[in-house]
Chains A and B, each alone.
Chain A
Amino acid sequence: MSKNIGMQVVVTSVKQVADTVKCFRFVPVDGSDMVLPRFSGGSHVVVTMKGKDAAGNTVTYRNPYSLMSSPDDSSCFEISVLRTENSRGGSHFMHDQVKEGDILTISNPVNLFPVSAGGRKHIFIAGGIGITPFMAMMDALAARNGKFELHYGFRSRSHGAYWRELEERYGHSRVRTYCQAEGQMIDFGELLEHQPLGTHLYVCGPAPMIEAVKKSAREAGWPDENVHSEEFLAPPSGQPFIVKLKKSQRNIMVGEHQSILEALEAANVDANFLCRGGACGQCETAVCSADGEIEHNDHYLSKDERQSGKKIMICVSRLNGRELVLDL
């Protein structure tokens, strides 16, 4: 029941919303009786893409993208995709191949980055494409008169998506933008001062930004319980290795630019997953033995669990070595 492959949707609009960002709108396929579910702000869906690699072989990409449309609008879903320079294929596929009328498969929405319902005030800090989950969160908060402010940094006015619309919709008292090209920077320390008790802080953006915000919050005496972040990791590349499945007695090669999960799926092995970004814990798999060193790249396993060498998150972690035996 944890297989989360979900529903078919049709792309009804593709819009270039910033230099390297496109917005995609999905609706249910015509004639199906499917209704898009409502969702909570901060949810993402996993989009399945069938593309071709450089050698012309069919490859399946599955990437998580935050839902940015209004959670109260069940007529469509919207996501935004940044065209990344070191794309493993997914973001280039979305940018270069997907056009209006195409049919894609998306998962049910899953929320690993929810607004803390009891929070007195919510401060959102976005860097670049990290703006997307906050758009749905702010929409939901505004609908129930929740107190929030957004601090949004981007490289240049043409690189930043949606900043103009957000300023117009919520006003300058709630939305502050910071344009790096114009020398504007978010002063985290100043931002964290004088916030009322019960304020929650959310950050989404590049890893160094998340680390900087967390560090500032810690220095300002904020408890970890009030600081939330989301960062989807792309599975890192590495040397190829063999995965041996103990129960089904199979050997599967994991390629240089493949995750274990992707290699299993390519070999038609059904594996559990939800976020594919090392955050949710759904793909936790028992390790029988490892000839080599496990490279844990997830945000999920504890230090002790990593050291035990008995568990691996197969969506982002891999082996630096020859062979990994999994209890599958």
Chain B
Amino acid sequence: MKGGSNHAAALRALNAADYWEAPTIPTLLTRLGAALSTAHMGLRLYVAGTEGFIGQVMKVGTDAGISFLSIRTEHRGSLARRVSCVHCKGITENVTTNPATCSHCGLTLLVRDHYSRRIAAFQGVCIDAEVPGDVPPVEEAFR
């Protein structure tokens, strides 16, 4: 990942069985999925990064048959959340505020502390469903 490029030389020098720098999270996930599809028991998955990143990697791991209980994770960096809109099912990345706007359907969402591993996202529920427009002040909640 770009932010870590200054560590690249040091990491490469460790001579891992497979070392790969991905330009984006989606390309990394695709590559990881391919590597896991031919992997054997004994391979263990360790993930460090933001919450949204950890969630997406865990999903690739569990889709490959790894029990999430056996995946070791370490949170580093921003607390920004991936949020799944319960209404339109769209995922909004890098949500730092509560409430937040769904990037797909435009509803104002209350971001709940309710997390789905399968979707790798927190749940967002329309905050002004009862009285449209009655929205509390936006707070920087997840930095």
Contact = CB atoms under 8 A, between A and B. Distances in A.
- Judged by CB atoms under 8 Å, the answer to whether A and B touch is yes
Interface of A: 118-120, 192-199, 220-226
Contacts of A221: 41-44
Q: Is the interface of A mostly helix, strand, loop or mixed?
A: loop
Contacts of A226: 41, 67, 70
A196 B40 contact: yes
Interface of B: 36, 39-44, 64-67, 69-70
A198 B65 CA distance: 4
B70 A120 contact: no
Contacts of B39: 196-197
A223 B65 contact: no
**Of A193, A224, A226, which is in contact with the most chain B CB atoms at under 10 Å from its CB?**
A226
Contact of B65 (A196, A222, A224): A196
29 contacts: A118-B65, A120-B65, A192-B41, A195-B40, A195-B41, A196-B39, A196-B40, A196-B41, A196-B65, A197-B36, A197-B39, A197-B41, A197-B43, A197-B64, A197-B65, A198-B64, A198-B66, A220-B41, A220-B42, A221-B41, A221-B42, A221-B43, A221-B44, A223-B44, A223-B66, A223-B69, A223-B70, A224-B70, A225-B69
Nearest to A118: B65
Nearest to B42: A221
A40 to B, nearest CB: 20
Nearest to A225: B67
Contacts of A198: 64-66
Contacts of B36: 197
Contacts of A193: 40, 42
Contact of B40 (A118, A194, A224): A194
Contacts of B40: 193-197
A199 B64 CA distance: 11
